[in-house]
């Protein structure tokens, strides 16, 4: 369902179930008993905008794999059959709060997204394979001129995972939160004052095509900035945008070793990378080659896929996600021991993921999901609790 969002692995000894891009970890049965079938989600509209707001809870039932939507009470409704070409989906919108107001809905045990849009309802379609998500990198997408955004969530027997995400685009700002079982409330996702407009201004000021990621409506309204992967698709960014850095990494590790320690709780488990014949081979402690990577391109780096594919295993996936983070943050040349978790060294090379750099710089707590494996080193904008009392989604000002 979440085609552009990559699975994220959790360095834990428990078996991890990767659901909808948000990591869910199996917990003891006592935790299962603590999580009801639905929990309240309080939506607060601090945007200052006067247009009506529409809310959608869309996702996949964890028990059956069935796709559908939830109404304001948290009741799940499966999608009807789709068609070719895709046919309009049933109206799954929920009226959102007016400016300065709050409303509370209930969200069920799903893996999916909570969408919100300003002024117009989103246009969802159903294909034979299920729901067609908005894809605003396509100029003909019916949602191209709508100001909207979404949060990812998974609610299951082990608790709630709720994030703010910029993996596909940076748009209408919002923050997420959870009231934990102990009554304390934690949140993330707020921008610094002036941060929303600041992201667009900084992208436009960055040479090399980065300003082309910004999309505006015909009336001049700024709608969003596409992620750099989508910028490559649309031609806003040149395909060679990361080549210089990638080439320098390959040259460095043709003559030295890159050490990857992907599991924080297993510091003795290391993998060693060396480039030979244009391929980076990784060996384990016995010197056996366990996986190899061809030199990636910018799309592989920004999307953490293709030549940097990360399967849900215990070797290639963890190494790949570490490489992906190192390339996006440009830390592979400055630190041969990865992952690098010292944020002071992130994005310091002239060739880097400037989209991620600019977004992180303008987040109030520095946390964001600006690329698929931005959780390496715990840089992600995510809240979690094993027995949540309530979730929160706050629509913030567009300033």
Residues annotated as catalytic (active site), given as ranges: 152, 168
Cα–Cα distances (Å) from 78 to 65, 68, 74, 129, 160, in that order, read 10, 4, 13, 13, 22
Across-strand partners of 89? none
Phi, psi of 235 (to 5 degrees): 90, 5
Phi, psi of 228 (to 5 degrees): -60, -30
- The angle at the Cα of 73, spanning 179 to 26, to the nearest 5 degrees, equals 50
CA dist., res. 3 & res. 308, Å (int): 16
Helix locations, 145-215, DSSP H = 195-205
CA dist., res. 36 & res. 132, Å (int): 29
Cα–Cα distances (Å) from 109 to 58, 336, 345, in that order, read 11, 42, 39
Q: Is 286 exposed, middle or buried (0-12, 13-18, 19+ CB in 10 A)?
A: exposed
Please enumerate in sequence order all residues whose Cβ is within 8 A of that of 274, keeping only pairs 6 or more positions apart, or say none.
253, 254, 256, 257, 258, 280, 281, 283
Q: Is 48 left (phi over 0), alpha (psi -120 to 50) or beta?
A: left
Report residue 293 as tokens: 């990577």
DSSP, res 363? B
């Amino acid at each position: 369902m979440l085609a552009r969002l990559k699975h994220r692995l959790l360095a834990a000894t428990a078996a991890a179930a990767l659901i909808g891009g948000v990591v869910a970890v199996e917990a003891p049965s006592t935790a299962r008993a603590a999580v009801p079938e639905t929990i309240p989600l309080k939506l607060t509209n601090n945007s200052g905008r006067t247009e009506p707001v529409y809310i959608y809870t869309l996702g996949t039932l964890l028990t059956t794999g069935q796709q559908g939507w939830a109404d304001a009470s948290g009741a799940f409704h499966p999608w009807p059959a789709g068609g070719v070409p895709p046919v309009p989906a049933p109206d799954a919108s929920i009226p959102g709060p007016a400016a300065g107001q709050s409303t509370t809905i209930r969200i069920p045990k799903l893996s999916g997204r909570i969408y919100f849009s300003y002024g117009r309802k989103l246009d969802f379609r159903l294909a034979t394979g299920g729901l067609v998500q908005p894809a605003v990198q396509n100029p003909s997408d019916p949602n191209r001129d709508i100001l909207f955004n979404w949060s990812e969530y998974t609610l299951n027997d082990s608790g709630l995972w709720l994030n703010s995400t910029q993996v596909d685009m940076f748009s209408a700002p919002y923050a997420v939160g959870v009231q934990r079982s102990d009554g304390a409330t934690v949140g993330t996702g707020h921008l610094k004052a002036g941060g929303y407009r600041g992201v667009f201004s900084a992208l436009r000021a960055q040479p090399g095509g980065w300003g082309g990621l910004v999309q505006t409506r015909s009336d001049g309204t700024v709608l969003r900035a596409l992620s750099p992967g989508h910028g490559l698709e649309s031609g806003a960014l040149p395909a060679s945008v990361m080549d210089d850095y990638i080439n320098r990494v390959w040259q460095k590790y043709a003559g030295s070793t890159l050490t990857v320690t992907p599991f924080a709780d297993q510091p003795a488990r290391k993998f060693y990378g060396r480039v030979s014949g244009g391929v980076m081979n990784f060996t384990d402690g016995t010197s056996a080659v366990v996986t190899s990577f061809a030199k990636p391109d910018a799309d592989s780096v920004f999307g953490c896929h293709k030549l940097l594919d990360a399967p849900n295993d215990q070797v290639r996936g963890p190494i790949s996600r570490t490489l992906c983070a190192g390339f996006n943050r440009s830390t592979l040349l400055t630190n041969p021991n990865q992952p690098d978790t010292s944020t002071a060294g992130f994005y310091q090379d002239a060739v880097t993921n400037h989209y991620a750099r600019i977004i992180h710089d303008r987040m109030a707590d520095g946390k964001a999901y600006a690329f698929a494996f931005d959780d390496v080193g715990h840089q992600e904008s995510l809240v979690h609790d094993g027995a949540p009392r309530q979730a929160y989604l706050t629509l913030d000002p567009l300033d």
